[in-house]
Amino acid sequence: MPIAQLTENEMNQMGVVSLPTRPNGDYASGGEALSAAALKERFDRLPRYIAARLNAVIAALNADPSDGDGAIAGMILTGMFPDENAGHTLSDLFTDILNGDLAGYLSVGNGSLSEGLARKEDTFLVSTCSGTTLTPSDQVEYRCGTLSELSLSLPENPSPTFCCAIVFDTPEGNESASLDYPEGIRWSGDDVANGDLLLFGERHYTVFLWYDGAWEATVRGVDL
């Protein structure tokens, strides 16, 4: 059930107030000199006071994540980029998630995936797949067209900045496409379950494969 906030008008009508710190002290010493009846009234209003204080928290929780000043997430530093962006907050992270812009959070060699993708246009060669086997080379994008069967092998002694891309479509029917790959690849992204890549029919896949001391692969799959 959604949490309803008290409106300002309701709070004024119900007389939400805080509890006094020195209820029985005289005015000269900072007290309020409340009578027993007045003090009881203050305690009777305590739940309303708590509700009023929670209003700010509820408003912050419901705020747009991109509203750095209004959202709680905008007040929490992630510490993910201490050198280049020390002010990075959860609000920034949530905004990037909503925008699908997560490449800057993945490491490729000595840089981020977004940096690797930014260099792709200048450094990547484009090649086509031939046959049913592929041992990818560094800095090459393989465009395999509609893929019915492919056996992927990993190169020996890869450079610490090795990265490549494999792009293909799957034909209609889930059983008509097969991608065999060796153990040891850590998969992430679309259509990955329990550490394995599961191909579905009539999808366009881009597999970005890199080596950073271990073999990593992230997958993007969209319907044709």
144-174 per-position pLDDT tens digit: 988 888 899 999 999 888 999 999 998 886 5
Question: Would you say residue 2 lies in a domain?
Answer: no
Task: Answer yes or no: do 132 and 215 share one domain.
Answer: yes
Task: Answer yes or no: do 163 and 196 share one domain.
Answer: yes
Residue 119, classed as helix, strand or coil, is helix
Task: Answer yes or no: do 140 and 126 share one domain.
Answer: yes
User: Given the DSSP bridges, would you call strands 203-211 and 163-169 parallel, antiparallel or unpaired?
Assistant: antiparallel
* Mean pLDDT across 57-70: 61
Name the average pLDDT for the chain: 77
Question: Would you say residue 202 lies in a domain?
Answer: yes
Task: Answer yes or no: do 92 and 118 share one domain.
Answer: no
User: Given the DSSP bridges, would you call strands 107-108 and 215-223 parallel, antiparallel or unpaired?
Assistant: unpaired
Task: Answer yes or no: do 121 and 201 share one domain.
Answer: yes
**Highest-confidence segment of 114-118, 171-175, 219-223:** 219-223
Question: Would you say residue 210 lies in a domain?
Answer: yes
* Mean pLDDT across 42-70: 67
Supply the range of the domain harboring residue 126: 102-223
**What span, in angstroms and rounded, lies between the C-alpha atoms of 132 and 145?**
12
Question: Would you say residue 148 lies in a domain?
Answer: yes
* Mean pLDDT across 208-218: 93
Domain end position, chosen among 40, 73, 101: 101
**What span, in angstroms and rounded, lies between the C-alpha atoms of 103 and 108?**
10
Task: Answer yes or no: do 26 and 74 share one domain.
Answer: no
pLDDT at residue 1 tops 50: no
pLDDT of residue 80: 78
Task: Answer yes or no: do 149 and 206 share one domain.
Answer: yes
Q: How many domains does the chain have?
A: 3
Show the tokens assigned to 185: 């690849």
Task: Answer yes or no: do 168 and 120 share one domain.
Answer: yes
Question: Would you say residue 207 lies in a domain?
Answer: yes
Question: Would you say residue 212 lies in a domain?
Answer: yes
Task: Answer yes or no: do 58 and 131 share one domain.
Answer: no
Task: Answer yes or no: do 171 and 216 share one domain.
Answer: yes
Cβ pair 163, 172 in contact under 8 A: no
47: left (phi over 0), alpha (psi -120 to 50) or beta: alpha
Alpha helices, DSSP H, located in the chain: 8-14, 36-44, 46-61, 90-98, 113-123
Task: Answer yes or no: do 123 and 183 share one domain.
Answer: yes
pLDDT at residue 70 tops 80: no
